[in-house]
Amino acid sequence: MGERTVELEVLRYNPETDQEPRFQRYSVTCREEWVVLDALNHVKETIDPTLSYRWSCHMAVCGSCGMMVNGEPKLACKAFIRNYEGVIRVEPLAHFPVERDLVTVVDDFMAKLKRVKPYLIPKQEKPVSEGEYRQTPAELKRFKQYTMCINCMLCYAACPEYGLIPKFIGPAAISLAHRYNQDSRDGGRAERQEEIASTEGVWECSFTGACSEVCPEHVDPAAALQQVKIRSTLDWYTEHLMPWLEK
């Protein structure tokens, strides 16, 4: 396995002493199979223990290590050094306030996630003794891709609408609402519509499609948002033109 010395340019921000962030360069001897996260770990262990960033699983499952690598939202554990030439610039995820170095403030996303009720709201509660809520493979496939979301927030960093209009509920949260709306066992769509069919919901989306392009789990949030728009439009027509069809 070959080694290569890579220049990492990392955004640093110390909330206790800095007025604004600055870039700091580190020379790191990287192995062929290293990802950006390996390089950051090497910096922290051998060069600069003050460098702060989030990570946990190192296998694209936990969604903690989202950051901008050369201006593109990436999971640091999935961004192979060998795919980059020259200086690699590492910054915290765009559109989120910087807590410290590469650590962002994610409170906004967590609050939005809670608002869209991303959990099963059964049509009819039944006692455990009556057995499971059953589902066919076709019904499962209808929403399965959306269950792959790991809440890494790369889609928020890619979304220009979220950057410009922070009140936008955004790709991941709306996709998760859609995931449950599409679930044959669920009866909570009307409750979720109040959040996701509002101005702050899908109607802030202008279908840039960047969310789907950057998703490390190949979820298609842009598709979810357009489908919610269509359903919401049909709801409106039903309500105003054919009210007798409303259940």
Applying CB under 8 A, which residues contact another protein? 13, 15-16, 18, 20-21, 71-72, 94-95, 97-99, 105, 137-138, 141-142, 160, 163, 206-210, 212-213, 220, 222-223, 226-227, 229-230
Tell me how far, at minimum, the Cβ of 69 lies from another protein, in Å.
Answer: 12
- Residue owning tokens 């069919």: 197
- Residue closer to another protein by CB (options 35, 94) is 94
- Residue closer to another protein by CB (options 16, 130) is 16
Tell me how far, at minimum, the Cβ of 131 lies from another protein, in Å.
Answer: 23
Strand blocks (E) in 13-65:
22-31
- Residue closer to another protein by CB (options 28, 102) is 102
| Residue 72, token pair as written in the block | 């593109």
Cα gap 153→218, rounded to integer Å: 13
- Residue closer to another protein by CB (options 28, 176) is 176
Is 195 in a helix, a strand, or coil?
A: helix
Nearest to 106 by CA among 93, 118, 116: 93
Sheet holding 3-12, edge to edge: 22-31, 3-12, 88-92, 66-69, 72-75
Tell me how far, at minimum, the Cβ of 13 lies from another protein, in Å.
Answer: 5
Is 8 in a helix, a strand, or coil?
A: strand
- Residue closer to another protein by CB (options 95, 112) is 95
